[in-house]
Structure 1
């Protein structure tokens, strides 16, 4: 018996990283899966990130790994900035898998710049994907869940939805916005038996964090290495022995929220960050 037996889980940004972890964890627990992500087939991809976005090969790998677990999967190249793409993906998922019980709104990007140097394009891409894309994803599944009078939505925010972050004001603004969106969606869908919650990941090792620009940020200078990432992660959490967490950590939290164990939990923010938010703040570089 799996925790999601008989369910269908839709995951945006499902081709790799945290998205792939959500897909595999859901499949291991008995769910069929619908993944939505950008690939080379999707035009007008954001150009402001410091790392490569998902590819068709990434999507194909996730499909293969879910199928190896004996579950069905539908993979749709789509852009969360475009409502018609998401509506079509939902329709395809329902047609091929029967229904959609769960949405994990996971798609997101990250980039770095002081707010006064940030380009309009960088700001607009971030808000369009990390905030508006979450709204559009929920909007796409809501009529189906309302019709069925059941469902669970998990919105992936960040610890930066609860605290500030230097050099990514656009990311922090978007992730704070997800919290307000989640609470309102939870309130509006509660009379229809649909739950909505948010997860706030801390330091997670993925393509978004494990790249040269991120290494340089953690090192505090150009030429950073993977060792700088691991070292920074050790300073990030309060729990002994923790550094950047595997993506499965976040997938396990979503599994709980989407399962019957959380059947009366809605409208909450769940930090998964090894105790990062417990650490008293200090100014490591005071200016006289």
Structure 2
């Protein structure tokens, strides 16, 4: 039970938690004793060509966290809206206290074969993937400073936050790459502010993970239209990573193993960015 309960007494605030990577992060942190506040929009965004997580998906996250013995509160809310983030943080404080761990995971990727509205796709992607991360960190970091007990913030970026592959001039592809680079900017900008308070902030950069964001017909159409830019091309002989691979990186950063790690852009990408 020792290692299993390495996060006992900790509280984790996770966005985009209804399914995919977010659900995996919630379950794995709960497995190690963290209490979970799981936030997800559970509504469709018009420019997104695949179905976003639903309230039923979020309830499945709740069920899976409870299956491993975890405590969880699920909240529906939009990371683009500061009021929704504030309400979720307040729910967390009332039930569990100030979060010790923040995993800003919520994100969209609206790439498709034929883009009907590049401007809207760009703006929506920036708002969710970048402004949503800022809203999340901005709502919680001052509370961590005030509490004075440190903390760990993990921002889920992408290999597209370290390079520019895949750009085809579309609003979605440009917005995705720009937003994921911007997440690194948020991390680097805030690292020096947070470090004196023993609050660590890092980014993780996954290669392709077969979640609903990637595994849908419109994305396959985009790959077909962009055979070079869309090449997943991992160096290791694996086509894609699993959500658990990213969750293990999150665990490294939020557990004692990462207690002296801050300001790091951590690729979990099977060598994709090194090629």
* Residues 1:214 and 2:219 are matched in the alignment: yes
The within-5 A match list for 1:46-125 is: 46-112=45-111, 118-125=117-124
CA radius of gyration, larger in: 1
Q: CA deviation at 1:30?
A: 1.3
Pairing partner for 1:261 from 257, 261, 266: 257
Counterpart for residue 143 of structure 1: 142
Q: CA deviation at 1:119?
A: 2.7
Give the alignment's TM-score, normalised by structure 2. Answer: 0.91
Unaligned runs of 5+ in 2: none
Q: CA deviation at 1:184?
A: 1.1
Cα distance in 2 between the residues matched to 1:85 and 1:126: 18
Number of equivalent positions: 263
Give the alignment's TM-score, normalised by structure 1. Answer: 0.87
Q: CA deviation at 1:219?
A: 3.7
Cα distance in 1 between the residues matched to 2:112 and 2:70: 42
Cα distance in 2 between the residues matched to 1:117 and 1:207: 21
Pairing partner for 2:245 from 224, 244, 249: 249
Measured at CA, do residues 52 and 117 of structure 1 come closer, stay the same or move farther in structure 2, by a change above 3 Å? closer
Q: CA deviation at 1:277?
A: 1.3
Counterpart for residue 167 of structure 2: 166
Please list the CA deviations of residues 124-156 of structure 1 after superposition, one character each: whole Å capped at 9, or x if unmatched: 111111001000000111122111221110001
Aligned CA-pair RMSD: 2.0
* Residues 1:202 and 2:207 are matched in the alignment: yes
Q: CA deviation at 1:166?
A: 2.1
Counterpart for residue 238 of structure 1: 235
Unaligned runs of 5+ in 1: 222-231, 280-288
Q: CA deviation at 1:6?
A: 1.6
Please list the CA deviations of residues 40-72 of structure 1 after superposition, one character each: whole Å capped at 9, or x if unmatched: 4xxxx4211110111000000000110111111
